[in-house]
């Protein structure tokens, strides 16, 4: 194989590797990081009673399941604290300009159940349409900390292998051009 073919082959392998690094890194992030739900709409009409109060004594009317709530086969996610459903913001405008206070106006369980409290903020809310932003673990989430660490190293290791391969190919071309 001549020097030109080796350089072309090296360039093609380098570009292919660079493309694969992006794909692998994106895949690693999706399996090792939390997903984000943005402005999920929750209608709290069913929680209201006379005077716009929140019904906290009439059964479970103040409870609402989030779209990404853990149930059935997903319950294992509640065993890992880094996998809990965590509310970022909750309010009745989007984007949330008036936030309600977690653990005062509402709470979100680790499995993704929203609970409303009968507070002034909720009683005076201008709309029954509310919006919540929260994080949760996707189905493919890797729960093992060492497993996540290994996955995070993959992109870097692949980059090092690409650099080493490129250096080896160009060194070989250099050697053949010098007649070694």
> Same domain, yes or no, for 25 and 15?
yes
Q: Are residues 93 and 39 in the same domain?
A: yes
Do 79 and 131 fall into the same domain? Answer: yes
Write the DSSP string, 14-64.
HHHHHHHHHHHHHHHHHHHS-EEEEEEEEE-GGGB-GGG-B-SSSTTTTEE
> Does residue 10 sit in the same domain as residue 89?
no
User: Is the overall model pTM greater than 0.85, yes or no?
Assistant: no
The rounded distance, in Å, linking the Cα atoms of 69 and 48 is: 23
Is there a single domain that holds both residue 153 and residue 131? no
3-state secondary structure of 131: strand
Mean pLDDT by 10 residues, the chain (180 residues): 79 83 86 89 89 81 89 82 87 70 91 91 84 90 87 85 83 78
Residues 133 and 146 in one domain: no
| Other beta carbons less than 10 A from residue 62's beta carbon | 21
84 and 16 within one domain: no
Q: Which domain holds residue 93?
A: 34-137
Are residues 27 and 72 both part of a single domain?
no
Token pair 């609402």 is found at: 64
User: How far is residue 14's CA from residue 132's CA, in Å, rounded to a whole number?
Assistant: 44
45 and 103 both lie in a single domain: yes
How many domains, in total, are found in the chain? 2
CB within 8 Å of 75: residues ≥ 6 apart: 111
Say whether both 71 and 55 belong to one domain: yes
The 10s digit of each residue's pLDDT in 105-143 is 999 998 899 999 998 888 888 788 889 999 998 888 888
Check whether residue 59 and residue 3 sit in a common domain.
Answer: no
Instruction: Produce one character per residue of 89-120: b if its CB has 16 or more CB atoms within 10 Å, e if not.
Output: bbbbeeebeeebeeeebbebbbbbbbebbbbe
CA distance 173 to 93: 63
* Omega of the bond leading into 95 within 30 degrees of 0 (cis): yes
* Same-domain status, 50 and 87: yes
């Amino acid at each position: 194989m001549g020097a030109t073919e080796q350089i072309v082959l090296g360039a093609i392998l380098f570009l292919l590797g660079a493309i694969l690094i992006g794909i692998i890194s994106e895949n690693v992030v999706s399996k090792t990081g939390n997903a984000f739900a943005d402005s999920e709409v929750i209608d709290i009409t069913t929680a209201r009673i006379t005077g716009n109060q929140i019904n906290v004594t009439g059964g479970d009317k103040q409870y609402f399941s989030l779209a990404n709530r853990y149930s059935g086969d997903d319950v294992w996610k509640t065993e890992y604290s880094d996998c809990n459903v965590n509310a970022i913001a909750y309010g009745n405008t989007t984007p949330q300009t008036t936030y309600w206070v977690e653990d005062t106006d509402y709470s979100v369980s680790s499995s993704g159940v929203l609970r409303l409290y009968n507070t002034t903020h909720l009683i005076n809310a201008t709309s029954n349409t509310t919006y919540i932003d929260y994080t949760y673990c996707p189905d493919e989430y890797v729960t093992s900390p060492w497993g996540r660490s290994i996955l995070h190293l993959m992109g870097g290791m692949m980059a090092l292998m690409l650099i080493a391969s490129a250096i080896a190919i160009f060194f070989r071309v250099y050697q053949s051009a010098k007649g070694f």
